[in-house]
């Protein structure tokens, strides 16, 4: 144990870590001699400056949060990492610990102790922190979308039900009846958007995966689209499809969204759709080809964005279907894309990892195409 003030001073001044005292706003009251070795500043050059001004803009928010945490938890050390500007203008990664000793009569400051760290390790940890923050924000956003969509459904239902009662009870003139039809139609459209939003927020990657026969999933999707298939007279040809690991309801949804688009965005010709599978390396590439209106090259990526539509109301839709497909396919580790030219049909393709165990039951395809 150091016994005198001089001994404490000697310890601080000879430590390779920088020890610095700041007030609750972050203004520097003291900086130890090693500031020169770590940041290139003489300690007195930093006195009176705000320490946060030296922190990289991208690291400022979490550094402020660490200071706030230290203020709320006196005496407990709070650790963080940040890039700090050296005197020569370059950034240096440091690891710091802030302890709030404002109430200690002999200190009356926040003690910040920091040292230089390996930039690669720091960047990896920073990447990890950002991934965690992004995952948390995404989960919050999805929970928010789910709550909003869920809560809006009830009042919508009320509007629709009471408008219909009004139409039945009141002796409405023809023009007024048209208005109520617009209201009911608007409510129906909004209800479809909310249903799509609710189901897109329901996709969860925490559930375990099971073998899913894609042929069965595609047939189930066609069954769900029976009305649209019959009324459009679409011809759908399906080659043998493999069994993969996934979630049955999600994969049915992928086929359903892609097949229903292939029917919806038809050209003048009779609708012809082909579903095929090709084994490429460790993946299956599933293709859904149509002879519809096609998509311009510059829109190929756009169509997978949430609420992105290339068409106005003349073809009904919510702009959610392809974003949901992307989320499901990428959640299984695959990719999804479209190959198309305006006016010459579209081929939507997605990859899904081959299930080697399941492929053994399908020797012809594996030996021919693997």
Under the binding rule (CB under 6 A), the answer on residue 257 touching ligand ADP is: yes
> From the CB of 261, what's the least distance to ligand ADP, in Å?
3
Q: What tokens were used for 281? A: 């390396």
What pairing do the DSSP bridges indicate for beta strands 336-340 and 91-101?
Answer: unpaired
> From the CB of 140, what's the least distance to ligand ADP, in Å?
23
For residues 51, 53, 56, 60, the Cα torsion angle rounded to the nearest 10 degrees is: 80
* Burial class (CB within 10 angstroms; exposed 0-12, middle 13-18, buried 19+) of 174: exposed
Under the binding rule (CB under 6 A), the answer on residue 331 touching ligand ADP is: no
Q: Which is nearer to ligand ADP, 279 or 326 (CB)?
A: 326
> From the CB of 326, what's the least distance to ligand ADP, in Å?
9
> Are 241 and 277 within 8 A, CB to CB?
yes
Give dist(CA 202, CA 223) in Å, integer: 22
Q: Measured in whole angstroms, how far is the alpha carbon of residue 139 from the centre of its chain?
A: 8
> From the CB of 351, what's the least distance to ligand ADP, in Å?
18
Considering only 160-168, 239-247, 285-293, 327-335, which stretch makes contact with ligand ADP by CB under 6 A? 285-293
Nearest to 69 by CA among 57, 80, 85, 83: 80
Considering only 70-78, 80-88, 211-219, 255-263, which stretch makes contact with ligand ADP by CB under 6 A? 255-263
Considering only 22-30, 82-90, 230-238, 306-314, which stretch makes contact with ligand ADP by CB under 6 A? 306-314
Under the binding rule (CB under 6 A), the answer on residue 51 touching ligand ADP is: no
Considering only 110-118, 175-183, 256-264, 279-287, which stretch makes contact with ligand ADP by CB under 6 A? 256-264
- Supply the DSSP string of 44-60, one letter for each residue: HHHTTSBGGGGB-HHHH
Contact residues: ligand ADP, CB under 6 A? 257, 261-262, 265, 290, 292-293, 295, 303, 308-311, 317-323, 346
């Amino acid at each position: 144990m150091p016994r005198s003030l001089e001994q404490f001073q000697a310890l601080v001044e000879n430590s390779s870590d920088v020890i610095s005292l700041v007030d609750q706003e972050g203004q520097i009251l003291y900086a130890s001699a090693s500031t020169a070795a770590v940041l290139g500043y003489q300690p007195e050059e930093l006195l009176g400056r705000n320490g946060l001004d030296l922190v990289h803009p991208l690291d400022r928010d979490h550094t402020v949060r660490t200071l706030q945490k230290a203020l709320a938890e006196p005496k407990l050390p709070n650790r963080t990492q940040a890039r700090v500007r050296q005197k020569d203008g370059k950034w240096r990664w440091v690891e710091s610990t802030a302890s709030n000793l404002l109430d200690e009569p002999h200190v009356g400051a926040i003690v910040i102790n920091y040292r230089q760290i390996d930039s690669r390790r720091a960047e990896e940890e920073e990447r990890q922190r950002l991934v965690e923050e992004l995952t948390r924000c995404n989960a919050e956003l999805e929970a928010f979308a789910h709550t909003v969509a869920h809560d809006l459904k009830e009042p919508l239902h009320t509007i629709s039900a009471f408008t219909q009662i009004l139409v039945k009870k009141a002796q409405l003139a023809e023009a007024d009846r048209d208005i109520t039809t617009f209201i009911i139609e608007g409510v129906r459209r909004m209800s479809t958007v909310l249903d799509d939003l609710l189901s897109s927020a329901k996709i969860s990657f925490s559930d375990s995966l099971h073998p899913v026969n894609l042929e069965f999933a595609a047939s189930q999707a066609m069954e769900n689209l029976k009305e649209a298939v019959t009324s459009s007279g679409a011809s759908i040809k399906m080659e043998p499809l493999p069994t993969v690991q996934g979630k049955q309801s999600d994969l049915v949804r992928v086929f359903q969204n892609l097949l229903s688009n292939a029917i919806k965005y038809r050209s003048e010709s009779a609708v012809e759709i082909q579903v095929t599978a090709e084994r490429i390396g460790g993946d299956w590439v599933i293709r859904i080809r149509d002879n519809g209106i096609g998509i311009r090259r510059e829109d190929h990526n756009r169509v997978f964005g949430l609420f992105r539509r290339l068409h106005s109301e003349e073809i009904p839709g919510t702009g959610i279907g392809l974003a949901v497909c992307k989320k499901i396919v990428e959640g299984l580790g695959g990719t999804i894309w479209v190959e198309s030219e305006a006016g010459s049909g579209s081929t939507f393709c997605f990859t899904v990892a081959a299930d080697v165990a399941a492929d053994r039951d399908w020797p012809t395809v594996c030996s021919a195409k693997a």
